[in-house]
Amino acid sequence: MNNRPLTLMAVHAHPDDEATGTGGVLARYAAEGMRTVLVTCTDGGCGDGPEGVKPGDPGHDPAAVALMRRQELEASCEVLRIGHLEMLDYADSGMMGWPTNDAPGSFWRTPVEEGAGRLAELLRHYEPDVVVTYDENGFYGHPDHIQANRITMAALAMTTLTPKVYWTTAPRSMMQRFGEVMREFGADGQEPDPAEAAAMAEIGLPDEEITTWVDTTAFGGQKFDALAAHASQGENIFFLKMGQERFTELMGVETFVRVQDTTGAAVPENDLFAGLR
């Protein structure tokens, strides 16, 4: 018998992604004695620099930003009690359509089989029982999120492992509440652009299509603090504006679609490890 602990591996694109959609489950399962592994695919170099300097603006130094974000990521992992951090360190590709998409070394430009091969080595090393990443659209169309899905699914196919595999998602009912809260906390009080509102309404899935609802309310404080650890990106992290109590109220359940399973655990389920313990 293999005496290793039950293991959760989350594959994310950038520093700070680990906290937004999976901070609750990472903290919860670490507290329950599971081994937690975070794989971060890019260096985050297309994030904001010191003083909020934006990518492409004078003074933005991707290498310096990447170093700063690595330190913030390590702080976030400490807050969430993540046991193992693995960084693939591909260059951040930026948002869809940015010139950085096609820059040498960018994650988006990296052949899927190359990234998958590296991830497959980590899968074989840790032998996770549960693997979490994004859906095929990267949840909202970010190129690095899409690539993370591609390499994860390809890496799994390169191994003989049969973990439960989940894609992060959000129920449409929650996305509607997000829209209401964003208007409530909006700096200018104006109605959102209709096109943006329509796009947000299409993010996530109808509630009935979600297979897995995990209550992480008890870990809302850790999740909030993990996001706050990424202080350099605070301008882009809307959730920090609402304060910890409201944040936990809104973000206290993390939702997933189960796309691979050999346990036969019934769905809907409330535990990523259902059927494994």
Q: Sheet harboring 84-90: ordered strands across?
A: 84-90, 35-42, 7-12, 130-133, 164-169, 253-260, 212-215
Window from 97-101, 177-181, 226-230, 249-253 with minimum mean pLDDT? 177-181
Q: Which of 222, 228, 210 is nearest to 24 (CA)?
A: 222
Q: What is the mean pLDDT of the chain?
A: 90
User: Which residues have CB under 8 Å from 269's CB, separation 6+?
Assistant: 211, 212, 213, 258
Q: Which three-class secondary structure state does DSSP give residue 91? A: strand
Residue 251, pLDDT above cutoff 70: yes
pTM for the full model?
0.91
Q: Is the peptide bond before 268 cis (omega within 30 degrees of 0)?
A: yes
**pLDDT category of residue 28 using cuts at 50, 70 and 90:** very high
Residue 189, pLDDT above cutoff 50: no
Q: Which three-class secondary structure state does DSSP give residue 254? A: strand
Mean pLDDT of 174-203: 61
pLDDT digit string (tens) for 88-124?
Answer: 999 999 999 999 999 999 999 999 999 999 999 999 9
